[in-house]
Amino acid sequence: MIEATLNEWKKWYAENRTEECRAIGKKREELDDDEVFIRLWNTQDGKPPEGGESFNAKAWKKPGSTPAPGLVIVTGKGEPPLILTNQKRREEAAEETKKWEQQKSKKASKAKKTDADKNESDEKAKKEPPASRYLKKPYQWRCRDCGEEFDATKPKVHCKRNPRQRAEVSRDSTKWFNQFLEEVKWTYMPHREISTGLIGVIDDEKADALAKEAGESLEKILNGEEMTAPKYFDLYNERTRYLRVSDLKEHSKFKRVINRIAGWREAKQKPVSKAPLGVIEIGHAFDEFLEGTFENIQSDDWAKGERVRFDCEELGVIVGGTPDLNFKGVPVETKTLRVFPHEVPEDKNQKAIFKYKWKKNYAKQAALYLQGVDNEFMLLLLISRESGAFTVVPVDDEAMAAMQENWVVWAEDYEKQLDAYKKLIDEE
């Protein structure tokens, strides 16, 4: 087992190690049993299975009570810990580390560095979230406007915009892609198999007919394309000047962004110094791959997605985002997942994982995009990264109600930060 919900990991621990166990996250954190984690294999655990990641750093900040940043640990008396993480927690940890380093260098410039300080920063380096690599300078960039690619140590404004930073796809992931492309058969499947009972999925003949048409059209297009592995992918940078659709979905993300956005707006854009490896890199590279493929589609029915803006009254802000594609005037958002639950019936976790991702991410994103367009529904294109099987699901904005309830609370809790952000926007 590589990926499972926290609940499943606890069961696994109880069966394989000891029944008396507990899961520990951040300080005072109440963990959600449905949150999805991947396992990391430390030296004690031996060699990870194919697709698994090894972990050679310190798992604990304080043994038995505080895990290292980005980790959740399941532990029981006299048994080795089970080390868990996920993308969200890794990003949070990376952001925390950055903040910490900045404070550190501020302090260091005031006072001379002592040996004690140095030891402390060495310690900190060891606690970095795992499975990433340092990028070589000069870094690689691409203009958001004209698409020109260039090398530079620092971001250089191009066509009046901050450029996007990219990284070369690692050798391992390139190997993975070449194998995938050799074996892939793009197969459209009707969505009912996976979508029954999920929030936002609509039961409407016309919408179903459109989804089917989109799926069948795409199957033909994809199987007819000559495809190559992507060479680069866009690095994710949480620092943003504007709140985005993706910042309104979950409390932990919103909190991080709203607390820092004013600072980000004042500071210069900084290069990212590390790139992910493993599943996370493959996920990013896959997005790049699809983007490139869709750009080449020659069809009157398919087009690039258009930017949408949504006025969030509860928070008093306007957010923007861009769905990936458009089919006959209906926005289409693409999400890749490792596998569909029914592709691996022996792995019962996948059902829970899929449901969790749908509820926490896909349904919310569709609901948010729909606020900015005239349509009643949009299409979610879900693709399996292992097989190339895909489906198209018509979704409405049912997920809005729960988010609106959250926003009312956030508006109060982060009033100061929101006001500061709004003031900066007004001054533009």
Q: What gap in Å lies between CA 70 and CA 206, rounded to an integer?
A: 44
Instruction: State residue 86 phi and psi, 5-degree precision.
Output: -155, 175
Q: Which is nearer to Zn ion, 144 or 192 (CB)?
A: 144
Closest by CA to 58, choosing from 142, 143, 124, is 124
Q: Which is nearer to Zn ion, 117 or 291 (CB)?
A: 291
Strands 330-337 and 325-327: antiparallel
Binds Zn ion by CB under 5 A, chosen from 19, 33, 123, 145: 145
CB 383 within 8 A of CB 185: no
The answer to the question of residue 172 lying near Zn ion (CB under 5 A) is no
- What part of residues 80-99 is at the interface with Zn ion (CB under 5 A)? none
Q: Which is nearer to Zn ion, 159 or 425 (CB)?
A: 159
CB 360 within 8 A of CB 198: no
Binds Zn ion by CB under 5 A, chosen from 26, 158, 338, 360: 158
Of 32-40, 112-120, 150-158, 203-211, the window that binds Zn ion (rule: CB under 5 A) is 150-158
> Shortest distance, CB of residue 248 to Zn ion, whole angstroms?
30
Q: What gap in Å lies between CA 340 and CA 362, rounded to an integer?
A: 14
# chain residues binding Zn ion, by CB under 5 A: 6
Q: Which is nearer to Zn ion, 141 or 421 (CB)?
A: 141
**DSSP assignment of 298-318, as one string?**
--SSEEE---EEEEETTTTEE
> Shortest distance, CB of residue 142 to Zn ion, whole angstroms?
9
Binds Zn ion by CB under 5 A, chosen from 28, 47, 146, 205: 146
Q: Which is nearer to Zn ion, 9 or 141 (CB)?
A: 141
Write the binding mask 205 to 234 for Zn ion: x where contact by CB under 5 A, - elsewhere. ------------------------------
Q: Which is nearer to Zn ion, 125 or 159 (CB)?
A: 159
Binds Zn ion by CB under 5 A, chosen from 32, 63, 150, 159: 159
> Shortest distance, CB of residue 271 to Zn ion, whole angstroms?
18
Of 87-95, 127-135, 147-155, 404-412, the window that binds Zn ion (rule: CB under 5 A) is 147-155
Closest by CA to 262, choosing from 279, 246, 278, 243, is 243
360: left (phi over 0), alpha (psi -120 to 50) or beta: alpha
Annotate 368-425 with three-state secondary structure.
HHHHCCCCCCEEEEEEECCCCEEEEEEECCCCHHHHHHHHHHHHHHCHHHHHHHHHHH
Q: How many residues does the chain have?
A: 428
> Shortest distance, CB of residue 163 to Zn ion, whole angstroms?
8
> Shortest distance, CB of residue 358 to Zn ion, whole angstroms?
37
> Shortest distance, CB of residue 267 to Zn ion, whole angstroms?
22
> Shortest distance, CB of residue 145 to Zn ion, whole angstroms?
5
Q: Name the helix (H) or strand (E) containing 278.
A: helix 278-295
Closest by CA to 6, choosing from 28, 22, 19, is 22
Closest by CA to 234, choosing from 148, 167, 294, is 167
Of 62-70, 156-164, 401-409, 419-427, the window that binds Zn ion (rule: CB under 5 A) is 156-164
What is the rounded (10 degree) CA torsion for 380, 385, 391, 393?
A: -20
What type of residue is 173? S
Binds Zn ion by CB under 5 A, chosen from 71, 131, 135, 143: 143
Of 108-116, 139-147, 270-278, 345-353, the window that binds Zn ion (rule: CB under 5 A) is 139-147
> Shortest distance, CB of residue 30 to Zn ion, whole angstroms?
46
Q: What gap in Å lies between CA 360 and CA 323, rounded to an integer?
A: 17
Q: Which is nearer to Zn ion, 19 or 149 (CB)?
A: 149
Specify the residue for token string 């959740």. Answer: 72
Of 145-153, 347-355, 392-400, 405-413, the window that binds Zn ion (rule: CB under 5 A) is 145-153
Q: What gap in Å lies between CA 274 and CA 70, rounded to an integer?
A: 16
Q: Which is nearer to Zn ion, 113 or 161 (CB)?
A: 161
Site residues for Zn ion per CB under 5 A: 143, 145-146, 148, 158-159
